[in-house]
Each structure stands twice: as C-alpha cells, then as structure tokens.
C-alpha cells in the first residue's frame, strides 16, 4: 500500500517553474551520472512533471522524470502523456522506483501542506531514505500562480536550507511568503520562533531599501538580501540567486524550536 493519503489534486501549468529552475542548478542533479528526478504528488494533471522534464532536459538531456501519485485515477490519466524520459506510477512517501533505484532529486510540492505538522519529520525521513548519496528532497509550497514559493532542501543527513522565491514586481512585503511556508514552518510564524524573526527582518530591510525600488524591485531585493547577510543571517548562494527573487538561508537559522532531525 502506498504510504500517505489522497488529497486535493490542485495543480497548474507553469506553477512550479521557480522550483524547476532551482533543481536545474543543484549539484546533485548536475553531477549525477544518470539523473533520476521524482515529481511526488503531481496532482490532477501531469503538467508539472512534463514541464519539469522539458526544463531539466535542456540542462541534462539524459534526465529521467518519474511522476508518482497516490491516486490511481490520476496515474492512469497521466500515463497517457508518458513519453521518452517521463513516466508515471502509483506510489506514496515510500517513493517506489524501478529496481529499487534511489532518486537524485525528489520534489514534493504542495503535498505535505495537507498533512499534519507532526507528520512532517517522519515523511521527510522516509523520502530522504530513497535518495542517492548527495541527493536532495525539495519539499515546499507555492501559491496558485507560483509567484510566491518556498521550499526546504532536505538531504540524507537532514534539512540543509530554506529558500524563499518571490516575484518582485508589485511585491508589497516579502512576508507574504509566510502564508506559503513549508508545513514544518507555516505554524511557527509566531514570536519566539526563528522563522518569525526572519519574516520581520525581511520586511524591515525591504522597507529600508524602498528608495532602490525606483530603479527596480530587483535592486531593492538584492540590497535587502545583502543587508540581511550583513547582519549575520547565514545567506547561502551567489548574488545571482537574489537577482531571481530568491533568498536561501541555512536551515539552522530558521528551524522550529526543538526541531531534531534524529528524533
């Protein structure tokens, strides 16, 4: 029996472009001898898995994408769109793959948000066990259009980072992403939690750099990220990532109080 339960299948074309772009830059994906990427919980249509293959195959033409869904009817429908490099199969958090092969990357987007917060760690562990050495589970959430997104990179050794990814044009406050945080953090945006401090600091720095907005929201975001880093937030990644409206922070700086990967 697949592990998990069938939930709403809401999905959309182009919704996961930001996280596809992220996966396309992961060293795990770039260096794998034969990249196998899983789109876990692809939903009511196979669009996100097909698009993922379209995008990733521009970078690695040997990539294979496997869409896994717990709803048999959705798998049957998606299988009509299978093509070279893209297949679909029934499964859950146990991530079943042919011959027990481990995955290079597992993306689980807008899946765990429909589970309880207390279940997250067990499901992270289960999926991380299915990664090849150096592989990454990218688990996150976004809004309907994909313009507000966030995800955690989880490795077999534990969570490594939190990434926020925002469309900057028309952005009022970066803390809009609080509504779309991964399940492990969404209920922790309260005083005393590190993620709450990050949301407050992000907004403060964004306001401070309001003047740069007249040049471009991108300049304003780059300055926001730089000044957060200047105040000691462990920002990861090159400046080029801020140009994309992203901010990546080391996991320990945002982990919920009492979080313990080994628990």
Q: Which member of 52, 65, 70, 177 binds ligand SAM (CB under 6 A)? A: 70
Q: How far is CA 240 from CA 25, 202, 243, 244, in A?
A: 12, 18, 5, 7
Q: Which member of 28, 103, 105, 111 binds ligand SAM (CB under 6 A)? A: 111
| Closest CB to ligand SAM among residues 139, 221 | 139
Total residues at interface with ligand SAM (CB under 6 A):
25
CA quadruple 119, 125, 127, 128: dihedral, nearest 10: 150
Cβ atoms of 67 and 86 closer than 8 Å: yes
Assign 249 to helix, strand or coil: strand
Contact string 75-94 vs ligand SAM (x = CB under 6 A): -----------------xx-
Question: Which alpha helices (H) appear in 60-193, and where do they start and end?
Answer: 72-79, 120-128, 183-186
Q: Is 110 in the site for ligand SAM (CB under 6 A)?
A: yes
Q: Is 165 in the site for ligand SAM (CB under 6 A)?
A: no
Question: Which alpha helices (H) appear in the chain, and where do they start and end?
Answer: 17-23, 27-31, 47-59, 72-79, 120-128, 183-186, 194-208, 217-230, 239-243
CA atoms within 13 A on the CB side of 254: 34
Q: Is 49 in the site for ligand SAM (CB under 6 A)?
A: no
Q: Is 182 in the site for ligand SAM (CB under 6 A)?
A: no
| Closest CB to ligand SAM among residues 68, 223 | 68
Q: Which member of 8, 83, 99, 262 binds ligand SAM (CB under 6 A)? A: 8
CB of 16 to ligand SAM, least distance (A): 6
In terms of C-beta density within 10 A (0-12 exposed, 13-18 middle, 19 or more buried), how is residue 1 classed? exposed
Distance, in Å, from the CA atom of 171 to the CA atom of 240, rounded to the nearest integer, reads 19
Q: Is 137 in the site for ligand SAM (CB under 6 A)?
A: no
Q: How far is CA 154 from CA 6, 107, 158, 254, in A?
A: 23, 10, 5, 14
Q: Is 15 in the site for ligand SAM (CB under 6 A)?
A: yes
Q: Is 199 in the site for ligand SAM (CB under 6 A)?
A: no
Selection from 9, 17, 18 nearest residue 41 by Cα:
9
Q: Which member of 52, 66, 68, 137 binds ligand SAM (CB under 6 A)? A: 68
Q: Which member of 42, 88, 221, 251 binds ligand SAM (CB under 6 A)? A: 42
Q: Which member of 22, 29, 88, 109 binds ligand SAM (CB under 6 A)? A: 109
Q: Is 223 in the site for ligand SAM (CB under 6 A)?
A: no
Selection from 86, 87, 90, 88 nearest residue 71 by Cα:
90
Assign 157 to helix, strand or coil: coil
Q: Which stretch binds ligand SAM (CB under 6 A): 70-78, 153-161, 187-195, 198-206?
A: 70-78
Q: Which stretch binds ligand SAM (CB under 6 A): 79-87, 103-111, 131-139, 149-157?
A: 103-111
Per CB under 6 A, residues contacting ligand SAM are 3-4, 6-11, 15-16, 40-43, 48, 68-71, 74, 92-93, 109-111
């Amino acid at each position: 029996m697949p592990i998990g339960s069938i939930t709403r299948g809401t999905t959309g074309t182009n919704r996961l472009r930001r996280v596809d772009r992220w996966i396309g830059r992961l060293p795990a994906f770039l260096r794998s001898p034969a990249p196998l990427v899983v789109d876990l919980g692809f939903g009511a249509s196979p669009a996100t898995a097909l698009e993922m293959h379209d995008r990733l195959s521009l970078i690695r033409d040997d990539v294979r994408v496997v869409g896994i869904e717990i709803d048999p009817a959705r798998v049957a429908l998606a299988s009509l769109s299978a093509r070279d490099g893209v297949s679909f199969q029934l499964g859950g958090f146990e991530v079943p793959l042919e011959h027990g092969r481990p995955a290079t990357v597992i993306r689980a987007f807008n899946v765990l948000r429909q589970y309880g917060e207390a279940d997250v760690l067990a499901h992270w562990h289960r999926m991380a066990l299915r990664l090849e050495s150096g592989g990454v589970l990218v688990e996150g959430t976004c809004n309907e259009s994909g313009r507000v997104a966030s995800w955690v990179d989880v490795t077999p050794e534990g969570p490594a980072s939190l990434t926020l990814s925002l469309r900057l044009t028309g952005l009022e406050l970066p803390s809009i992403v609080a509504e779309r945080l991964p399940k492990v953090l969404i209920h922790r945006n309260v005083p005393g939690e590190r993620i709450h401090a990050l949301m407050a600091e992000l907004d403060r720095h964004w306001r401070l750099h309001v003047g740069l907005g007249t040049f471009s929201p991108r300049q304003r975001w780059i300055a926001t990220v730089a000044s957060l880093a200047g105040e000691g937030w462990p920002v990861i990644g090159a400046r080029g990532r801020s140009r994309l409206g992203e901010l990546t922070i080391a996991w320990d700086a945002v982990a919920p109080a009492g979080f313990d990967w080994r628990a």
